[in-house]
Amino acid sequence: MNERLLLVDDDQALCDLLTDYLQHEGYRVTACHSAEAAQQRFAGGENFDLMVLDIQMPGLSGLELLQQLRPRIQIPVVMLTGRGDEIDRILGLEMGADDYLPKPCNPRELLARVRAVLRRAGATAPERGELFPSGVIELEGVRLDPGLRTVTVAGEPVELTSAEFNVLAYLMASAGRVMSKEQLTELVLHRKLTAYDRALDVHVSRVRQKLSPWVADPGALIKTIRGQGYQFVRESS
């Protein structure tokens, strides 16, 4: 392990605590205490394997920083949000964050989220399990290549985050069958589904939105099965 993390939070005491903890676990950590300082790091050409981003900061907010970075920079992002800020969490996920953790956060829980996001961003197909497609899939005009991690529709590339790509990959590999939210959450986010957890729903919504320029009715292609989960619908199903 030698991944480089960027920690962006205006709470310097929390930054120091999390930096010490994550460095002890083998990560290289750079801390910034404002979104503007993080901007300068990216503008200077620095590369990071993952960013831990506080949403609420003075000046430029974490949401504004994330909006500026996407889709130009596809670094995995774990958001830190206030416990009651559901709207901010949803907005962050819609802008391309991979996961979130309410503040005040337990360093061990943050470590688990960081490891999970890095694992799914860099995992090979065998590591993702037998349900992940082993080869190219082309269904209903959507072509997904798990080796290159690319998605195209009518030859046009569709830019997806790591979580969005994996959601689509699992659904296409199981086309015609319903996958439960519990199963998808464990496969894609590497954690159990909890009450009021909207992360998976937002990732599915983003996949539909990104397919919409080429797919007439993405909601009919990736169908919500109330009380059960999601299904990639095949014409023959």
Residues 31-48: tens digit of each pLDDT: 999 999 999 999 888 899
Cis peptide before 213 (omega within 30 of 0): no
* SS (HEC) of 41-108: HHHCCCCCCEEEEECCCCCCCHHHHHHHHCCCCCCCEEEEEECCCHHHHHHHHHCCCCEEEEECCCHH
Instruction: For tokens 């979104």, name the residue.
Output: 35
Please state whether the predicted TM-score (pTM) of the whole model is above 0.75.
no
Residue percentage of the chain with pLDDT more than 90: 54
Using a 10 angstrom Cβ sphere, with 0-12 exposed, 13-18 middle and 19 or more buried, the burial of residue 26 is exposed
List pLDDT tens digits, range 75-88. 889 999 876 667 88
Fold of 4-122: Rossmann fold (3.40.50)
Of 178 and 125, the one with more pLDDT: 178
pLDDT of amino acid 90: 83
Instruction: For the chain, give every domain's residue range.
Output: 4-122, 125-232
Cα separation, 197 vs 202, in Å, equals: 10
Instruction: For tokens 């990071």, name the residue.
Output: 48
CATH 1.10.10.10 fits 125-232, yes or no: yes
pLDDT surpassing 90 at residue 182: yes
Of 91 and 126, the one with more pLDDT: 91
Instruction: For tokens 């199963």, name the residue.
Output: 183
- How many Cα atoms within 13 Å fall on the side-chain side of residue 73? 20
